[in-house]
Amino acid sequence: MVEFDEELIERLRKVQKTIALKAIIEDRFEKPICKIAGVDVAYNGLNAYAAVVVLKLPDFRVIEKITYRDKAAIPYIPSLLCFREGPLILRALRNIREEFQVLMVEGHGIAHPFKCGLATYVGVLSGRPSIGVSRRLLAGCTCEVPKAPLEHKPILLNGEVVGYCLRPRNRAKPICVSPGSFISLETALEVSIRSLGYYRMPEPLRLAHLAANDTKRLHVFE
């Protein structure tokens, strides 16, 4: 596990800013969206387990599910999550055979202090459209909170709309949606809404989360 010092953090900040400049917040894929992937990572001490699921819309039928295991390279530092999980996710993605149009990631996209959240990192470095969906705000703010189901309010960061705060269900706490790269603000929101099932988190992420934890437990059991 790599140790963090101020110098390393500064270097990573520069990498983030470079990646942020390469992010393209426009739709760069075929529509309508029918296949979407979700990825999540679970940990067991130093072991990291990534799971990627590819599912079809609108029925949420899973057409592929893979897992990938490796050692956690660096610890978690708020706003530097992409360097902990990003490389692992990029390697896991290489094992996916099915085609998909958008990758949904657990974390933020451009709704990040340096506009380079995990979803942006993965999107830019893989060259694939990506969306970041998070359970809480990291950067920026919302002037008001969405009240009704599927209601949404913009997330503002330095006077710019970088994503949306979305109420997924009646009483559920809102989630934060922001483009990673190669997708527009509107489409990131639309895809997130279309990916919602019965739970708070969109199905691609919920299923990836379950899969990641399943393999973690299986590995521990052996």
Told to check if 94 binds DNA by CB under 7 A, we report no
C-beta of 57: minimal distance to DNA in Å? Answer: 22
Q: In sequence order, what DSSP letters do the residues of 91-103 get, joined into one string?
A: HHHTT--S--SEE
- Binding test (CB under 7 A) with DNA, winner from 25, 33, 36, 41: 41
| Nearest residue (CB) to DNA, 15 versus 63 | 15
Told to check if 184 binds DNA by CB under 7 A, we report no
| Nearest residue (CB) to DNA, 17 versus 135 | 135
Dihedral angle at the C-alpha atoms of 84, 114, 116, 169, nearest 10 degrees?
100
What separation in angstroms does the CA of 89 have from each of 114, 144, 148?
20, 34, 34
| Nearest residue (CB) to DNA, 36 versus 88 | 88
Other CB atoms within 10 Å distance of the CB of residue 136: 9
User: Interface residues for DNA in 138-167 (CB under 7 A)?
Assistant: 138
* Strands 35-44, 102-106: pairing kind: parallel
Cα–Cα–Cα angle for 24, 25, 29, rounded to 5 degrees = 80
C-beta of 133: minimal distance to DNA in Å? Answer: 8
User: Interface residues for DNA in 62-91 (CB under 7 A)?
Assistant: 76, 78-82
Told to check if 42 binds DNA by CB under 7 A, we report yes
